[in-house]
Structure 1
Amino acid sequence: MSAPLVQGYEVVIGFETHTQLATRSKIFSRAPTAFGAEPNTQACAVDLALPGTLPVMNREAVACAIRFGLAVGAHIAPRSVFARKNYFYPDLPKGYQISQYEIPVVQGGSVAFELAGAAHMVRLVRAHLEEDAGKSLHQDFHGMSGIDLNRAGTPLLEIVTEPDLRSSAEAVAYAKALHQLVTWIGICDGNMQEGSFRCDANVSVRRPGAPLGTRREIKNLNSFKFMQQAIDYEVRWQIERLQDGYAIEQATVLFDPDSGQTRAMRSKEDAADYRYFPDPDLPPLCIEAQWIEQLRAELPELPRAMVARFVADYGLPEYDAATLTQSPQMAAYFEAVVTAAGKALAKSASNWIMGEVSRRLNAEERDIAQAPVSAAQLAALLTRIGDQTVSNNAAKQVFDELWSNPVVTGSGSATESGHDTAVGTGDLARVDQVIAAKGLKQMNDSGALQAIAEQVLAANAKNVAEYRAGKEKAFNALVGQVMKASQGKADPAGVNALLKQLLGT
């Protein structure tokens, strides 16, 4: 499949993603990594690079890197080396950054994603461990800048791709897939607003078949929306520049969301400018095969494997399976509902979780773990829909009551996600109580329903004639009248069948 062209040019994009690792302390010191502390209260002597201090490797940071490497099918280097990346910036206390250059800990691998129903795969060059720098603050300092070194020494895993992406849409889809993966395996909290997941996009354009063009790096993209806007603007800018007869100069640029434009920050350095050399304070990082296998055994089922299993085991469409596996918590909630309600109701469970549950969670900005309706209670509601105690439409009223007025049932707290393994009597009793209190029990008396249907047909001769003349809307109006006369207690599918029987169609 050929890459789409923009005004006759092919877009080429590579990514560098700085993933903040979910460790309690920094990569080379015991200073905490919690977000939001007062400036310079979480920087110790090692982070400040005071004389006489020495870095000590954080074992959990290495474990995070190994987990990622295993998840993307990469080679885990049994021996890797830390280097000093030399550059001057006010918030870099050492005057260099400890990183990995020639021999990174994670080598190769790939990240797969889907876009518009097509499968894509991005090759990874490497993922290496490094320390973060501090942060320069430029507001509220009376024309001066402040330096906050709380972030200095925070462990990062920098994930570098080959230039395999060919559009801003592909770039965003890749970034979302990577974000899902690192949060899924628990190595990063993924909070883009707090800087835990920061992407740099290397963007260039070229005529088809020509060598790679000169790239410009868009730094610190911490929003998927702004990511697409920034890349689209940069592509247009580079094409216009080339069409006007100018050359593209390698540079680092920033995206301004207010103007929707990128602007040059500095000329882009090459590796030689950083004067890399092995850090003399850190010995080579040696990883035993036994530790790698231990971490491999501890990895959770990965998203793409779970999608395939949901399709195979529960008969779900690919879209449903992909949506339900956006987070481990959502997937666990779904499986708990199906375990309690039975596999026959898997599609119904999927519809409700993607529909009513997600709608309420999004409106209230809650996570699935904070859902007031437990998995067992939702399973009980689906059970009552399945045995025709309540219609699907009426069940929405029951669900709203369960959500708005959570009550502890026999299977556990309703304020927790409640991944129970069976529909308990307490869950069914709670659902039945709401159905009875609201008078929502479905009408199952066929004689009474037929009497209502016959009365509706007799009172709506015009709609009957229009339906027989081929107007389908007239039939829908008749169904609506029967549902109204039954106070919404009739089964809509049963009403449809009964009316067609009475109408002789």
Structure 2
Amino acid sequence: MSETAKLIQGRTGPWEIVLGLEVHAQVASNAKLFSGAAVGFGAGPNEQVSLVDAAMPGMLPVINRRCVEQAVRTGLGLKAQINLKSRFDRKNYFYPDLPQGYQISQFEQPIVGEGEVIVERDDGSTFTVRIERLHLEQDAGKSLHDQDPNFTYVDLNRSGTALMEIVSKPDMRSSEEAAAYVKKLRTILVYLGTCDGDMEKGNLRADVNVSVCRPGAYEKYRETGDFSHLGTRCEIKNVNSYRFIQQAIEYEARRQIEILEDGGKIDQETRLFDPNKGETRSMRSKEEAHDYRYFPDPDLLPLELDPAWVKEIEASLPELPDAKKARLQSQYGLSAYDAGVLVSDAARADFFETAAKGRDAKLVANWVTNELAAKLSAGGLEVAESPHGPEAVAELVGLIEEGVISSKIAKDVWERMWAGEGTPRQIVEAQGLQQVSDTGALEKIIDDLIAANPGQAESVKAKPQAIGWFVGQVMKATQGKANPGAVNQLLKSKLGVE
């Protein structure tokens, strides 16, 4: 068994999960894949539908160059092969929200071929997910059933919206790995600017393929490439949160194991996940490619890319998460964990780098990943929506570095900042929170304490760690404003402690 495989103990012995994902990412574009109709969330029903999207007779699709560019950018970001010649096909099936009676997609010749994504686990180790392909396709519309139980309403606003379907190999072995993969993929897409990654709006969603097998079967598949070793898979459609991905996988794996251990067989089918019940349910039998009767779309010529254009796109790629993480560690001396937390959100990483200019980078990282993150989370805010920018964090850290305030006082200043009392320096001056570093004033307090507590002073000589009691008393006497470093140094000198 692989060291990272999740072992599930059944009644008849152990089982392993094998997972492959098909992630549908809405292309960041102002228009649809084959029409000039606008895309956007929140429009009224059927307000963003062109004649092409509604499949009116005689309307012909015209490829959106921007969507092609975004697909190429994504492929390059995934270290994948860019196919200079690809083709669009018609995928035939009949749903009320598919007005053409087919979906324009790519089958045998996708725009992007094999690539890979390196994913971090919670313990810091990594695993690689192989990308099988990325292809462009148009989204279907949406059927609504909750307005009137006697009718189904169809909204075609999404019809024709450009999607990138990113298909992985079955390289994930646990629900945690699947969620981590989607998180990493989403981060890459957001860095590239090819998808906004908004899972709540359905702009990024995953079809999860789940199968179970006995230990050792996965290794045989990797050796031979024979999928039959992995068992029959079921596909869970349109899962749009990390938590739901994990819950759906855990439930589905248990369901399959119970069937197999009772002597049954797994039917290859498409299932839906019900988050309210925490279970999957059958949707339809899983279609194979021949069921869709794919054939080349006669209205679209093969797509041929200029190699020079692909090179231009490659040259314009931003610094991606893995490269940024390595640089933050090297340039700022951050731990792998802190750098990973920062780069998981491009805006957070940019916030940090702006705040860290000329400051203690590790201290800035702590404030950004802990205090700032906590405030934003509590308020349901994104980094870009923070009422306090990187300059404010830099100013606060600067006051700590200069010895004007202690780390403890800084937290009080931080709370006052969020209460709207002003900038860090304004708050410190207005509230008289400056740290007491005057050795003369501190010496008097310490001398009085030692004189009043001779027994405690003697015990420090025998047990040096007891000096903490004196530190606490000094801090109490100064209302927490004493410079801790100066206090410790003076106490050690006066009590004869090394």
Q: Does 1:289 align with 2:307?
A: yes
Quote the Cα distance in structure 2 between the aligned partners of 1:79 and 1:449: 77
Q: Does 1:5 align with 2:20?
A: no
Structure 1 residues 269, 372: closer, same or farther in 2, change over 3 A?
same
Determine the structure 2 residue equivalent to 1:491: 483
1:181 to 180, 188, 200: 188
Q: Does 1:101 align with 2:93?
A: no
1:436 to 429, 442, 445: 429
Structure 1 residues 217, 466: closer, same or farther in 2, change over 3 A?
farther
Aligned AA (1:10) = E
Determine the structure 2 residue equivalent to 1:392: 407
- TM-score calculated relative to the size of structure 1: 0.91
Structure 1 residues 460, 141: closer, same or farther in 2, change over 3 A?
farther
2:164 to 140, 157, 161: 157
Determine the structure 2 residue equivalent to 1:418: none
SS at match of 1:44: coil
Determine the structure 2 residue equivalent to 1:194: 201
SS at match of 1:231: helix
Structure 1 residues 142, 462: closer, same or farther in 2, change over 3 A?
farther
Aligned AA (1:53) = M
Q: Does 1:372 align with 2:384?
A: no
**Contact 2:395 2:425 survives alignment (8 Å):** no
What is the CA distance between 1:366 and its match in structure 2? 1.6
Aligned AA (1:189) = D
Quote the Cα distance in structure 1 between the aligned partners of 2:446 and 2:119: 51
Quote the Cα distance in structure 2 between the aligned partners of 1:462 and 1:260: 64
Quote the Cα distance in structure 1 between the aligned partners of 2:455 and 2:231: 71
**Contact 1:100 1:128 survives alignment (8 Å):** yes
Structure 1 residues 105, 392: closer, same or farther in 2, change over 3 A?
same
1:253-272, aligned counterparts within 5 Å?
A: 253-272=271-290
Q: How many residues align?
A: 479
Q: Does 1:479 align with 2:485?
A: no
Identical residues among aligned pairs (%): 49
Q: Which range moved further: 357-366 or 261-270?
A: 357-366
Aligned AA (2:491) = L
Determine the structure 2 residue equivalent to 1:90: 96
Determine the structure 2 residue equivalent to 1:35: 41
What is the CA distance between 1:396 and its match in structure 2? 2.2
Q: Which range moved further: 290-299 or 94-103?
A: 290-299
Q: Which range moved further: 354-363 or 220-229?
A: 354-363
Q: Which range moved further: 307-316 or 380-389?
A: 380-389
What is the CA distance between 1:379 and its match in structure 2? 1.6
SS at match of 1:91: coil
Q: Does 1:131 align with 2:138?
A: yes
Determine the structure 2 residue equivalent to 1:314: 332
How well do the aligned residues superpose, as a CA RMSD in angstroms? 1.8
1:316-355, aligned counterparts within 5 Å?
A: 316-339=334-357, 341-342=358-359, 345-355=360-370
Which whole-Å deviations, capped at 9, do the CAs of 1:377-423 have from their partners, x for residues lacking one? Answer: 3222222211111111112233333343376xxxxxxxxxxxxxxxx
What is the CA distance between 1:299 and its match in structure 2? 0.9
Q: Which range moved further: 452-461 or 59-68?
A: 452-461
Determine the structure 2 residue equivalent to 1:18: 24
What is the CA distance between 1:469 and its match in structure 2? 6.4
Unaligned 5+ runs, structure 2: 218-228
What is the CA distance between 1:90 and its match in structure 2? 1.2
Aligned AA (1:483) = M
Q: Does 1:81 align with 2:87?
A: yes
**Contact 2:421 2:427 survives alignment (8 Å):** no
**Contact 2:461 2:496 survives alignment (8 Å):** no
**Contact 1:372 1:406 survives alignment (8 Å):** no
Structure 1 residues 207, 375: closer, same or farther in 2, change over 3 A?
same
What is the CA distance between 1:293 and its match in structure 2? 1.1
Q: Does 1:64 align with 2:59?
A: no
**Contact 1:373 1:406 survives alignment (8 Å):** no
Q: Which range moved further: 92-101 or 288-297?
A: 288-297
Unaligned 5+ runs, structure 1: 408-429
Determine the structure 1 residue equivalent to 2:226: none
Aligned AA (1:70) = L
Aligned AA (1:222) = N
Which whole-Å deviations, capped at 9, do the CAs of 1:183-218 have from their partners, x for residues lacking one? Answer: 111111111111000101100011123311000001
Determine the structure 2 residue equivalent to 1:363: 378
- TM-score calculated relative to the size of structure 2: 0.92
Quote the Cα distance in structure 1 between the aligned partners of 2:47 and 2:389: 41
Quote the Cα distance in structure 2 between the aligned partners of 1:209 and 1:329: 43
What is the CA distance between 1:136 and its match in structure 2? 0.8
Aligned AA (2:172) = L
Determine the structure 2 residue equivalent to 1:414: none
Quote the Cα distance in structure 2 between the aligned partners of 1:230 and 1:497: 58
Q: Which range moved further: 227-236 or 475-484?
A: 475-484
Quote the Cα distance in structure 2 between the aligned partners of 1:9 and 1:127: 31
Quote the Cα distance in structure 1 between the aligned partners of 2:463 and 2:236: 60
